[in-house]
Chain A
Amino acid sequence: MNRALLIILIAATALLMAVAFFMPAGPGATVGVASGSALPGFSPKANTPEQAMANVLLDVKRRNWDRAFVGVSKTSGVDERAFIEDWTGSSGSLRTFSNLEGFESRPLHATNDEAQMRVRLHWSTPVGPEEEARDFRLMREGDTWKVVWPHTETASVPAQVIPVDYLRWDLVSGGAEDEWGARNVDAPHVRILSMNAVQAGDGSVVMGEVVNEDTIPAFVNVNATVVDGSGNAIDEESSFDKIAHILLPKQVSPYRVDFPQISLQRVKNVRMDVKATLVPASADPVIGVMDQRLEPDAQGKNVLRGNLFNESGQTVNIPHVVASFYDNNGKVVWVADGYVERALLPQSSEPFAVEVPRALVGKVQNFHVVVNQYSLGRS
């Protein structure tokens, strides 16, 4: 009996392997996680644009670079090193810490010899899941389709010496044995400039702006507690990464505190608490925000787009943009943020875009962008 069961199991496994090997993935919308070859190392023939795209992306997902590059058209004009760097990032950027978790693709346009596809890439990153939409062109080469890999312009920084007026604050803190009152340094004076609570989806959002009114840098965190009609606290949340935490003197940062499951109708009051602590900080690098404009992107979403320009001589590994949007009364109606995947090299630019909710597009009259920077090995 046991032997018969063993034989049946082996036969069934062999049958399933044979089916997987000979049966290609179905056409149409491809979901990266579920589609593609069932047997690692074997890809179905790229006889459709969808299959060609799926083959390349699945191999990228598995970091099987040689096989992925086979699916790239020679007409692309990119070498394998540039292709790999496009996926793995460089200079300690966010992309270097990210993994492609999945993808969805759909054709935009197709002829017998050429096709265009839009791919939504799902990345897992240290700052949470990120989505990226990219358009790819595919060409038929013989009886297979290949992806024409877009040549990505990478910033090329010439060797140079950039003089820096190094400005930094260090903190000397007292020990337990110090005389009482001898080492008191006041915490920085920080003030909430505005606060606005709105309904967003099923939850509510508290947002506004905070300013450092002091003459020293401050590490700032904004906490909000939503209170019901009886005066009981419903929930307490912090601004987490929706704020520029280190504020130099007179610097203003937007903040946003999300309450995902709490409808604004339940909320009768919001208690705000801004915490500011004295921290060692540096005034560098200075990052300019160039050519800011509101416009629709390729997917029809409304975005605030622009370029970050690193005015310093330091590489910014992970730039982070936080933007506040104002109505015609100067009231903050939305705060959005976004991480830039590529590192911001010295004296070079990188594009950014943050989404504006469709419902607010007509309301937004003005905006303000601040840039956070995370640099490896520096505080």
Chain B
Amino acid sequence: MKCHDFTTSLIWLLIGAGISAWSVAALDIGTLQHPGPGFLPTLCGVLIGGLALVVFAQARRRETGEAGGVFWSERSLPRVVATVLALVAYAFLLERAGFVLTTFLVMLVIFTHVARASWLAGILESSIVTGAFYWVFGHLLKIPLPRGWLGI
């Protein structure tokens, strides 16, 4: 994990610096007697940055030439990316297209493209899952699910 440690520690260093800078610029840090709203966030930013340097130093000390391992394999990456994109699409479509349509479409994509089901099986599985969730959440738990274009 050495390679990853170099990269991740640098990312954390940036995050820590960013948090501290944002806190100092936008919020009142206050004093030790009267800590302000920016006090803890600044402290967190400094801590994250400091600890990131420790992780970096440890990675350097352990340097023995070993590789960090493959982060993504060619087989796994498309599945992970497709799933994340489907979820993001769900977030943006839900309130516009409604629960039933959005759930059916997103489940169809996941069943057919990620779980590699056939189109026929995908349509069948998505319909059952959408119907079951609509019944449990919309009817049994009485959660006001968005109706959207179809009006259901």
A and B assemble together: no
Q: A residues within 8 Å of B by Cβ?
A: none
